[in-house]
Structure 1
């Protein structure tokens, strides 16, 4: 079985290393400019730390550069001057593609990006739920085939995409994960403006959010859509727009226009002309 090392010992590397070690994948070691971080990740995964990159690379078949995105290129610049023939060089980045490995063909190595669609929050407990993660791969055919085989053997759903779609893919994940938090936070603020305590705002929104998310995931956005836009209630939307601040309208309007498209597909016989006119003319 191929051995894996991690250059960079943050949450993702710590979690993935522990998870793979628990499933019998040999972890050859960690290195990081923060030796305390490297030591804790290595101890957690039952392996050791290295201070010399070439020594770690020499004993590893698969090398994941698991640093922050803005450091990956400098690590690659060091790696490509070493003997990495037939080795797999990987990144976990959601936004960067394997094309960051410029000149990799001349080294004889194979580049891959393996992004787990998973929200990492705790370096020492997330590994317990990592079996639920889906992985998106792109890169060299040899590397993709090897990493895909490993992940599917562990029971993961894997989708392979083209490198040019990587940033759009990551934006989609960010909308579903990160930006939803922004909408929730905005809703909390608006309810507290109305006199709710924070605790009451959370308790009122929680079942609404949970029901809608469950409906979206078990059926479709169209089936889950309810409310004044779906009903074509232009008067209510007019009142919403009147009480929103300019910044709040900037968030509300593009999402409302998106919902109009969903509503039209759901109710092809319903007239949404007045709603469309209102949303398009409001700034």
Structure 2
């Protein structure tokens, strides 16, 4: 594909997503020609890193000067943002060729939020990188290898697949109307992984460790777990007392966490349920797995009641 056939790309929003995708597409040879933001200085910061890219305060100027628009505001701003845009022929300037397509980059929100653009003849879709954007220049390199979830039809779908490949990423496809469940599930590989680290760190702090020391010890363990899961699969990467069928350690840990109070035992018990499920997927599950499963359920009967009695304020201080 030559430069002449590549679509001109533009971004409405100059936050973390745009600060990664705009230069990443430019590196791949795509012309990124327009950036708009509520804060013009933010748009200028992104545009200054790219050749022949203009910064605008008015998002309509992006639509008027590119072929494909990436809309990247917070989810609750998608509808008001797209409703303010005009697609199709311009009455004041008939020779102006406006963008033929617009996509949002939300993982949770439906593509139907872009229906006002679709009603004007624009193709609409979703382009959601499964990547935790940090906001640094390192994102431009690190995004390669991740997956991008696409929702589009026809020519736009083909264009988004090509853009995904240009980033060195892998396309995923979900049916219309299923984005909320997809996005909720993805939290377990991002923010909820951090929550698991936070729980481990918090418990270690009761033993006298600082947060920095705890993270220094736990992060390599997490990294090793992920590499093993990549190489051998989830069930074979499972470690700990459930994996070994160690009933004595399992009972002792459940009892100890119940004594800690709060919702520590409930969280441990619910995650242990999932560990039991994974252990059952092994070719030879531990002999004592049914006994451990019963231990977990017995503990949960108590710990879930204990967790229910915690006020939100007290829970935040645990």
TM-score, normalised relative to structure 2: 0.82
Query: In 2 relative to 1, CA 41–203 (structure 1 residues): closer, same or farther, beyond 3 Å?
Result: closer
Q: Which residue of 2 aligns with 1:136?
A: 149
2:71 is the alignment partner of 1:65: yes
Q: Which residue of 249, 252, 257 corresponds with 2:273? A: 257
1:142-161 alignment runs, 5 A limit: 142-161=155-174
Matched-pair contact (CA < 8 Å) for 1:264–1:270? no
2:289 is the alignment partner of 1:272: yes
Residues 69-122 of structure 1 show CA distances to partners (whole Å, capped at 9, x for unaligned) of: 11111011112x442777111111121131212254432111111111122112
Residues 195-216 of structure 1 show CA distances to partners (whole Å, capped at 9, x for unaligned) of: 2344442343244323222111
Query: In 2 relative to 1, CA 212–239 (structure 1 residues): closer, same or farther, beyond 3 Å?
Result: same
Bigger mean CA deviation after superposition, 18-27 or 205-214: 205-214
SS of residue in 1 equivalent to 2:190: helix
Give the unaligned 5+ runs of structure 2.
1-5, 90-97, 302-318
Residues 19-70 of structure 1 show CA distances to partners (whole Å, capped at 9, x for unaligned) of: 1112221112111111111111111223111233333211111011111111
Query: In 2 relative to 1, CA 131–199 (structure 1 residues): closer, same or farther, beyond 3 Å?
Result: closer
How many Å apart are 1:262 and its aligned residue?
1.3
Q: Which residue of 1 aligns with 2:112?
A: 99
Bigger mean CA deviation after superposition, 169-178 or 121-130: 121-130
The count of corresponding residues between Structure 1 and Structure 2 is 282
Matched-pair contact (CA < 8 Å) for 2:143–2:167? no
Q: Which residue of 1 aligns with 2:186?
A: 173
Quick one: higher RCO (CA 8 Å, sep 6+), 1 or 2?
Answer: 1
**For 2:269 and 2:28, how far apart are their aligned partners in 1?**
48
**For 2:77 and 2:266, how far apart are their aligned partners in 1?**
34
Give the unaligned 5+ runs of structure 1.
none
1:1-283 alignment runs, 5 A limit: 1-46=6-51, 47-79=53-85, 81-83=86-88, 87-244=100-257, 245-266=261-282, 267-268=284-285, 270-282=287-299, 283=301
Query: In 2 relative to 1, CA 76–197 (structure 1 residues): closer, same or farther, beyond 3 Å?
Result: closer
**For 2:141 and 2:163, how far apart are their aligned partners in 1?**
18
How many Å apart are 1:218 and its aligned residue?
0.9
TM-score, normalised relative to structure 1: 0.91
**For 2:65 and 2:147, how far apart are their aligned partners in 1?**
28
